[in-house]
Structure 1
Amino acid sequence: MLRPVLCALALWLPAAVLAAPAPPPLPVPPIVDRHTQPERALLGFAPPPPAVTCAEGAPRRLSGNRFSPAPSWMPAGEAAPRQETFLFRIDPSGRPLGIRAATPRRDDQTEPLEATLAAWRFEASNAGFTGCAYTVEGRVHLPTLAPADLLRQAVAERTWRGRDEWRLRQLIGSAGCGPNTAPAPRITHHPDYAAVQKLPGRPQWSLESFDVSTQGRPHHVVHIADSGAPDLRRRSERAVRASRWESKEAVGCLMTYYAPPAPLPAPPMPQRTGYERPGDSCEEDVDLSFRTPIPYPKAAEGRRIEGWALMRFDVAPWGEVGSIEVLASEPTSAFGLMASNYLRMAKASNPSTGRKGCIVPVRFKLPELMTDAGDAED
């Protein structure tokens, strides 16, 4: 009797319900205009200033690298400006410290810009300078419209890799010595990197151009650009002339020689007693455990800049770490940010009743280099 009942019920349903709805039409793919699609571009920064603005005046900048260009994307034909202000102080020796972005916004370029600024040197003074500020100005360029010095720096510092890198090389005159046409090296000479004066926190490079004869000898050796390292430049030109390639003619070959920076030690760390508060209850040391070693800020590691962060936090009775606060970090805010992120993964093994206002130092120390050898890339 069940089947007739179901059929009877179906007879009373409206026709609109019984009819299956028509499937929606397939979406039509949008028409893409290739002229509005993002293109591979270069983010370049203005040259460093002769001086910066501080509360006590405008100290002169004596030395330091230019900001490195970065890969970017942009709609064709547009140039998006970029500005980021950094705040810092300058100690009596002329070293910038306490470097941090004026706004909390951080992106992929904030840390490299901080690290570059940390290796600058200003004029010495009796008491140093406070309340210093500098606004980094950048602009995105299409490679074909980029300034020549930006293209040369991007090639030397390997801003792009692979096919995009060869595109930049072509724009600075290396079209005749591409990945499929360059002669293979037979005897490669390098500068005496051990004799090159290392600069704290400042890597050095020198970019050379040359042709190769049918006998595999370099000729028309021309210096293209460098990071402000005249000693490395002279040694690089001699290294190119002494090298040999296979017997295959080529025009517009490039070679970049790199000298690593000397370590830039961290400034002294203050005593934790200056940050203690009434009501804190963390008299004993806290035993923290981590699943992985603490990572090093990448831009600072590349420039061999050491640093530290002084951190404050609470510990729950079950071992969870919370209320994490960066009390101070030097020489850039990247060390405090890295320490803060790392403490979030910590677990206290002896909290008993919990702790409040624990203060611990986090030091970032680089291992000693086993060699003074530099590097070369063609």
Structure 2
Amino acid sequence: GGRAARTVSVPDFMIGRRPPPGGRSWTVVRWNVDAEGRTTAVQTLGSSGDADLDREARRAISETVLRPGAPLTGCVFNFNRVGETLTPPDLPPREEDPQQSCPADISDRLRLNIAPARFPPAFAKRRIEGWALVRFDLATWGQTGAIEVIDAQPSAVFGEDASQLIASARAEPALTGAVRCVLPIRYRLPDAGGTAVEIATD
């Protein structure tokens, strides 16, 4: 309603039991604001069942005070919290490929379009990491081709993104190309809150 806040209170997300790794809990709060800026009729509109988060959200809204102005009704906001980072299963042992001809420095030669926006959003929100094994060829002029996802965990979504990542990669031209190279791409999130994303190849 265009009314500035005088006092803002936020939930303590550490109270109670956090969701399990990879899990997420949420709560939606509705309230009114009187002419003096005090919140009234604070209630939980919807919830995933996290009673501690529900209670903390209502407390935070109840303690928030706006500057005086026209009364407001039906204000709505949602809060959520996630569990610890869920790591994927270990990479499977690498199988020998008699048709493979892949220089040892292939991962260093490739220029990958690595950016935070590449991390699959649905998994980033729930702090679920993943990996993909991708096989590809590299032409002498530096373009990738014959891209194939061997495996991806915990979802095929990581394989789809890794395939696009390799398709957009380029390398400096060389006298020889590479055939049936296999590159593991790990999607890692930071240990604490933030949006930085590491896509590690090793």
Q: What TM-score do the two structures reach when normalised by structure 2?
A: 0.80
Shift in Å at residue 221 of structure 1? 1.8
Residue 333 of structure 1: how far off its partner (Å): 1.1
Q: Distance in 2 between matches of 1:192 and 1:281?
A: 55
Aligned to 1:227: 48
Paired positions, count: 189
Mapped to 1, the partners of 2:137 and 2:34 lie a distance apart of: 69
CA distance in 1, matches of 2:99, 2:112: 31
Shift in alpha-carbon separation, 1:266–1:358, aligned structure 2, 3 A? same
Match of 1:247 in 2: 68
Percent identity between matched residues is 34
Aligned residue identity for 1:213: D
Instruction: Give the equivalent residue in structure 2 for 1:186.
Output: 6
Q: CA RMSD in A?
A: 2.4
1:263 is matched with: 85
Q: Which residue of the partner structure matches residue 94 of structure 2?
A: 272
For residues 185 and 319 of structure 1, the distance between their equivalents in structure 2, rounded to whole angstroms, comes to 56
- 2:28 pairs with 1:207: yes
Normalising by the residue count of structure 1, what TM-score does the alignment of the two structures yield?
0.45
Displacement after TM superposition at 1:215 (Å)? 3.2
**Unmatched segments (≥5 aa) in structure 2:** 195-202
More relative contact order in 1 or in 2 (CA 8 Å, sep 6+)? 2
SS of 2:14 mapped into structure 1: helix
Flag the 1:213–1:279 CA change in 2: closer, same or farther, 3 A: closer
Distance 1:362 1:291 in 2: 11
What SS does the aligned partner of 2:104 have?
coil
What is the SS of the residue equivalent to 1:319?
Answer: coil
CA contact (8 A) 1:288 1:346 kept: no
The residue correspondences of 1:150-189 to structure 2 (distance < 5 A) are 179=1, 183-189=3-9
1:106-162 per-residue CA deviation (whole Å, 9 max, x = no partner) reads xxxxxxxxxxxxxxxxxxxxxxxxxxxxxxxxxxxxxxxxxxxxxxxxxxxxxxxxx
Per the alignment, residue 168 of structure 2 pairs with 345
SS in 2 for 1:232: helix
Rg (Cα) greater in structure: 1
* Cα deviation, residue 330, structure 1: 0.7
